[in-house]
Amino acid sequence: MKRNTLMLFCFLVVSFVAIAQKDYRVVFDFTSKDTTDQRAVIRWLNEISKGDPDAKLEVVMYGQGLDLVTQGKSYVPADVVRLAANKNISFRVCEVAMKNHNIDRSQLLEGVGTVPDGIYEVISKQREGWGYIKVKN
């Protein structure tokens, strides 16, 4: 009887921890000019947010990844604007990369934000327990 009670207690604790950790947070590391990668990250954001509307998703762009959110260069501008309007999805551009590519904030699509350092943003999210996905086809 004691053994069954202990097993039930352990099961309940494990179940509670599993439920409490259902926190779905992912940071996407985006550094590619490739339009296939642009379509892929948009597809993933759509699929995840439909499967779990409470999922927190952030796409961090640096290096050559700025085209995803730059007016006149993005292959999927309407999708970016639509997804950026979702309070649980954010697009963040590295200000260092913007400077290196001579892009100012006025050239970014509506709803896109910036961070001082894209790499630091990614590692900060990882320290906070966010999952990490490198977008690459």
Query: Residue 37 corresponds to which tokens in the numbers above?
Result: 């990668």
> How far is Cα 123 from Cα 117, in angstroms, rounded to an integer?
10
CA dist list (Å): 23 to 34, 35, 52, 73, 122: 30, 30, 10, 34, 18
For the chain, list the domains and their CATH numbers.
Answer: 23-134 (3.40.1260.10)
Which residue stretches of 2-117 are H helix?
Answer: 2-20, 35-51, 77-84, 95-100
- At 137 the pLDDT is 76
Q: Which two tokens stand for residue 83?
A: 């997804």
pLDDT tens-digit readout, 49-98: 999 999 999 999 999 999 999 999 999 999 999 999 999 999 999 999 99
Distance CA 90, CA 115 (A): 11
What is the tens place of the pLDDT at every residue in 9-53? Answer: 433 344 343 344 569 999 999 999 999 999 999 999 999 999 999
